[in-house]
Structure 1
Amino acid sequence: MNDIQLTNTRTERRDAAANRQRILNAALKLFDQHGVEQVSMNQIATEAKIGPGTLYRRYKNKSELCLDLIKDHLDLLFDDLEAYLADNESLPPSERLRGLIALFLRFREKKAQLLAGVEEAGSSRPKNRGRGPVYEELHQLIVQLFDEMALAAPPAEPRANSVFRADMLLSALSSDSYLFQRDGRGYTPEQIWEQLCLTFFPQQLR
Structure 2
Amino acid sequence: MNDAQDNPSPNPNPARAERRDAAENRQRILNAAQKLFELQGVGQVSMNQIAQEAQIGPGTLYRRYRNKSELCLDLIKDQLVLLFDDIDAYLEANRQEPPSRRLREVIALFLRFREKKAQLLTGVEDGGAPGRTRPRSQSPVYEELHRQFAGLFDELAAADGRSGPRPDSVFKADILLTALTRDAYLFQRDERGYAPEDILNQLCLIFLPAE
Q: Under a length normalisation based on structure 1, what TM-score does the superposition of the two structures give?
A: 0.92
Unaligned ranges ≥5, structure 1 = none
Q: Which residue of 1 aligns with 2:6?
A: none
Q: Does 1:124 align with 2:132?
A: yes
**Cα distance, 1:125 vs structure 2:** 4.9
Q: Which residue of 1 aligns with 2:39?
A: 33
Letter in 2 for 1:183: D
Does the CA contact (< 8 Å) of 2:72 and 2:123 recur in 1?
yes
CA offsets, 1:106-148, max 9 Å, x none?
A: 111110110000000188257x246411010111111000001
Of 189, 200, 203, which aligns to 1:193?
A: 200
Does the CA contact (< 8 Å) of 2:68 and 2:123 recur in 1?
yes
**Cα distance, 1:157 vs structure 2:** 4.2
Q: Which residue of 2 aligns with 1:56?
A: 62
Q: Does 1:205 align with 2:205?
A: no
Report which stretch shifted further, 149-158 or 27-36.
149-158
Q: Which residue of 2 aligns with 1:21?
A: 27
Unaligned ranges ≥5, structure 2 = 1-8
**Cα distance, 1:180 vs structure 2:** 1.4
Larger helix percent: 1
Does the CA contact (< 8 Å) of 2:100 and 2:156 recur in 1?
yes
Alpha-carbon separation, structure 1, partners of 2:39 and 2:164 = 52
SS class of match (1:116): helix
Letter in 1 for 2:22: A
SS class of match (1:205): coil
Q: 1:131 to 1:164 in 2, by over 3 A?
A: farther
Q: Which residue of 2 aligns with 1:44?
A: 50
Does the CA contact (< 8 Å) of 1:27 and 1:44 recur in 2?
yes
Identity %: 65
Which is greater in Rg?
Answer: 2
Q: Which residue of 1 aligns with 2:71?
A: 65
Letter in 2 for 1:144: G
Q: Which residue of 2 aligns with 1:97?
A: 103
Does the CA contact (< 8 Å) of 2:107 and 2:200 recur in 1?
yes
**Cα distance, 1:184 vs structure 2:** 1.7
Letter in 2 for 1:137: E
Q: Under a length normalisation based on structure 2, what TM-score does the superposition of the two structures give?
A: 0.90
Q: 1:32 to 1:130 in 2, by over 3 A?
A: farther
Q: Which residue of 2 aligns with 1:180?
A: 187
Of 84, 89, 100, which aligns to 1:83?
A: 89
Q: Number of residue pairs matched?
A: 202
CA offsets, 1:72-109, max 9 Å, x none?
A: 00001000000001111111111100010001111111
**Cα distance, 1:159 vs structure 2:** 1.7
Structure 1 residue runs of 4 or more that deviate by more than 4 Å after TM superposition: 3-6
Q: 1:32 to 1:151 in 2, by over 3 A?
A: same
Q: Which residue of 2 aligns with 1:167?
A: 174
Alpha-carbon separation, structure 1, partners of 2:136 and 2:81 = 22
**Cα distance, 1:6 vs structure 2:** 5.9
Does the CA contact (< 8 Å) of 1:36 and 1:117 recur in 2?
yes
Q: Which residue of 2 aligns with 1:141?
A: 148
Q: 1:182 to 1:107 in 2, by over 3 A?
A: same
SS class of match (1:121): strand
Q: 1:6 to 1:60 in 2, by over 3 A?
A: farther
Does the CA contact (< 8 Å) of 1:130 and 1:171 recur in 2?
no
